[in-house]
Chain A
Amino acid sequence: MPPSDAPDTEEPQAGEGQPQIVFDKVVKRFGDLTVLDHLDFSVEPGERVTLIGPSGSGKTTILRLLMTLEKITEGHIQVAGEPFSHMRRGSKLVPASEGYLREKRKSIGMVFQQFNLFPNMSVRKNVTEAPVHVLGLPKDEANARAEELLDLVGLGEKIDAHPTQLSGGQQQRVAIARALAMRPDILLLDEVTSALDPELVAGVLDVLRQVAETTDITMLCVTHEMAFARDVSHRVLMFDKGRIAEEGTPEKIFEDPEEERTKAFLSSVLDNGH
């Protein structure tokens, strides 16, 4: 929920009002390894941002910090104008408690590289379980939502199948439906096609294109699919060594990059056929 003094973010328009996500001098270290190095950036409501860069450049860590799967080392993250990595105690900001994180991450959904479907549940249960138990949705309403979303990802007839009976691409489409069933404001996509056989990639990307076209969900996307990035994103951030090396519109980054590092990275990715 937006606080009373913040502008309404129900009808977000890119570039207007308050940013939805703000990274403020964010540092993330794993032991001696600095993965994010005083990172600053923000994302507008409804904006679709693609993060590219060599592996180890910190892209995935950004998504994992937003999903609260990692704890921040230094700096602050804000979501929808509210502190996210921290919470207010009196006038001070202290590291967020589990309860606070739970409240704040309500608006965020994530799709993982390895799908992470629950093998102890049917496809239907995978999609309805969290809406029923976390959002408190009535069962029939959750079911209707699941049917609608599975139709959207083209798997309406697989609703009572078991995840292991599906191909990787189908599993990933279920995972997208599962994330959307929570009606997130922000969707994090972490290399969602990297674990798929090449012939299954297009189906998943088509679904995501459709989601991008038909909703105003803010999307942060880590991918090596450059054509997809160009089609759907408003902005591309090129990462290197935990910092933003270059940013701009997809046209700018892909056609006329300024930084040597960006050029080198793009040519290496394109050479690999990705």
Chain B
Amino acid sequence: MTWDLQFTLDSMPTLLEGLLVTVQVTAMGYLIALSLGLLIAIARRVPVAGSVLHVVMEFVRTTPLVVQLVFVFFLTPPNISGMTVGVVVIGVHYSAYTAEVYRSGIEGVAKGQWEAARALSLPATRTWGAIVLPQAIRKVIPALGNYLISMFKDTPLLIAIGVAELLTRAQQIGSASFRVVEAYTMVGFLFLLVSIPSAIIIRRLERRYAAV
């Protein structure tokens, strides 16, 4: 076969549209993962309820994301878009991971910090908000960043529920034109175009924060 350059160029706008959807899903899903993960990490310190939560999140973490996506997609009413389902399910799935990251960060805060906060009679909100979390989160920034990239690379799974992200667009273009090789190869390149620079940024972050 020969590589069809004209086709490649012509299909770029469509693929970039798909990439934009991919980026949107990643960004919104990541916001959910960051905030929900933090809530879970804190809630896990509550006796009994925390243990139940742990088992639930363990279940979420050890079962495939694509099954969760399709499952929830078919359970939700048709007026809710695949995009919304995708964002929420990916966000919740990844909060199972970020919760563990936050937890390791919180456990890494020295015991003396808690004791000092108690000695100052700080209320719980100040203890968490002003003392524990700032220290905990700073340490786990690189790890959290890694999940942003992981999440980005999981967005093609949305093809399973018909969201028009990058891989879906490539599939559509490919089946319409039979230039499947160009379509899927471009997807691969676009992924590298995003993930390699992000990997470099994360490495910088690690150097900057992990030393603390």
Are A and B close enough to touch in the complex, i.e. CB under 8 Å?
no
Binding site for A on B (CB under 8 A): none
